[in-house]
Structure 1
């Protein structure tokens, strides 16, 4: 019998790949006996991982980097051999705020919403009642995407608006209770807020960065070193789950699986919307289709690009303060392990990029890129403000990313 491999997760749609790798038997076919451990906050997911209660975790990508660099707690080296997906989050506002800054019945344009929000934020600041946004963790892509967007629109986070932390399962509750004016969270929690009439989905974070790195599979480096063959088997199983996940014919079945009490404990219909890139922006409205709202398979979506880890590091420095340290740039990049991903899938029919880094935000159209195996075509990966991140020009990029008013 295969030895057990435990994975922590939060009740989010983007925890799908390890869950479906287990439920559809892909892990068992690779000789793995998975145990899935549900938690309620990213802090508890991380604690369970670091103290050895789980072998791996569904995790927000920046948290793996922050933990490795010793930000917020003593450093422990984590590694990321697999990205669980790109995109998948949204910005949901209380209806009265959404009515002031966004069009009805469609997602807003990030620049136009930001321009309108700047005026509202200024008025609220003058009243001594700053707008309050909730993100899921200090070291989350949600926090960095939100801050990136606000700053590009001339709104200074922490000065013009407040940003607080609310774990994903409680985000809709915080919005409904009026504790926050907006939430940036993954599905199904935006849709839960919409169904309650507590929120309106205004933007998808994919509009801020079209191919933004999101959740990853993270583990302590000693676990990878000791159980390398099992980790590679898990990568193969989850890649099979990703291929199956994006097929329309399995969407309803997968939504029903994820909705079970032991997983998301939610409404299968709301989960199905996210899986099929269809969201109801307001209560009672028809589903709105936004292509690639969640992105789990095509264009090497599961490949752990070193450049994406390094972009996250630049945002960590930008918002925590301090200067770029090139040793830390290298350490942050080394958290993502494309070598393990390649080793797991070499010789299969899965395409493998030839490079481990790329210029982020540089593509506006379909572009064929070099492949070690198979063929890879990448699509639009732009940031909404047109900026480009070149991993070989990190210091210049960071220097040009000053905070508003600084």
Structure 2
């Protein structure tokens, strides 16, 4: 692996495994090893996840004993049927039969905290503790458009979609997983860069990830954006193909986050840090190429994604057959769990997500983005956890900003001037202030 992937300070992990002669990590931590005064206030947490491969760090933290290693012996990792369900259960909290935290689309903690997507606009403060991955999503297109071999350029696809709309008199649909979420923003950006107005030319519809393939099969949508394994499953079922991986739109873009209710964090600071350390170690485990086949097998299990291993393992390893004749091995666009600072929750990335939510009218233009980020983003806890884990200095970013970001269409996002970026976008749907 490259230098910043790291074999990293998995020191404690390696020692634990070595003590058992290489036995599985799940059995390596039968006791609780916590420094005096740092014991968890509670050993329990209920964490939600959606059946996607970027939730793998939660699966691995459970299966390989990382939660137990850090004293969190009563963690429940619970499948959610949709992102809307995740939102609703976070609003409820575990005391009301909901959840304390989740694998979540990065913008959602902001949308829940502000009440933008909750019933009666109730505001429920949520903290982002870590990013779970970079990249790894795809945009797929139905076989109806196979001759076009749609890729990053959507101009010809736009013509085909508009022609279909005129011919049939029906709307054409692009599916995503949650309004204002990552998949919504990727497919909107991609379409708009080719001149498709996602609010006027087509319909954007919400479909839960696990239902994407079935809906494409019956013709409910023309294109969709989602994580794996649903894009590769679409190809295996001969229903459609992969147009682009989302890192082709924005290299190593931030994607899912690990987030907790703010009241849980406030009441249980040590437990929160223990959860965070477990997730970070699981991310390191997932990143290691030697573990990718095993991680894919874990993901395929019934309690997690419940999908054929064949639909998961290739892309987990970084091998992409787009279903169009294009094949890439060990692709640079593959998902990252730890390498390239994948785990660190850059505030500059949260600012981009907020700016895009302003672009599409999910948030008002006059919202105080800096104050909101300070309220939601807890990179300070990530740094504290990294220090306790002994993470190498090179794997801890010096700044809360990753700097200027460049996109496939030539657009540039400078975190120091988000308005300039917003002004440069031709297609948008700003909400009245």
TM range (shorter): 0.7 to 0.9
Shift of 1:179: 0.8
Shift of 1:148: 1.2
| Pairs aligned (count) | 378
The whole-number CA distance in structure 1 between the counterparts of 2:368 and 2:247 is 30
1:201 aligns with 2:242: yes
The whole-number CA distance in structure 2 between the counterparts of 1:271 and 1:126 is 38
The whole-number CA distance in structure 2 between the counterparts of 1:16 and 1:405 is 35
1:5 aligns with 2:45: yes
Q: 1:394 aligns with which of 412, 418, 427?
A: 418
Shift of 1:323: 4.9
Aligned to 2:413, what secondary structure does the other structure show? coil
Aligned to 1:353, what secondary structure does the other structure show? coil
The whole-number CA distance in structure 2 between the counterparts of 1:341 and 1:253 is 27
Name segments (4+ residues, structure 1) moved above 4 Å: 283-289
Gap change, CA 1:309 and 1:286, over 3 Å in 2: closer
Contact 2:361–2:429 under 8 Å retained in 1: no
**Unmatched runs of 5 consecutive residues or more in structure 1:** 103-107, 362-381
**Unmatched runs of 5 consecutive residues or more in structure 2:** 1-31, 33-41
Structure with max Cα Rg: 2
Q: Which residue of 2 aligns with 1:349?
A: 391
Q: Which residue of 2 aligns with 1:281?
A: 322
Q: 2:128 aligns with which of 56, 68, 80?
A: 80
Gap change, CA 1:235 and 1:345, over 3 Å in 2: same
Alignment of 1:57-206 (within 5 A): 57-73=102-118, 74-102=122-150, 108=151, 110-111=152-153, 114-127=154-167, 128-206=169-247
Contact 1:9–1:36 under 8 Å retained in 2: yes
Shift of 1:292: 3.4
Mean CA deviation greater in 69-78 or 54-63: 69-78
CA RMSD of aligned residues (A): 2.1
Contact 1:69–1:332 under 8 Å retained in 2: no
1:319 aligns with 2:360: yes
Gap change, CA 1:286 and 1:389, over 3 Å in 2: closer
Contact 1:13–1:274 under 8 Å retained in 2: no
The whole-number CA distance in structure 2 between the counterparts of 1:404 and 1:65 is 20
The whole-number CA distance in structure 1 between the counterparts of 2:248 and 2:313 is 21
Shift of 1:316: 0.7
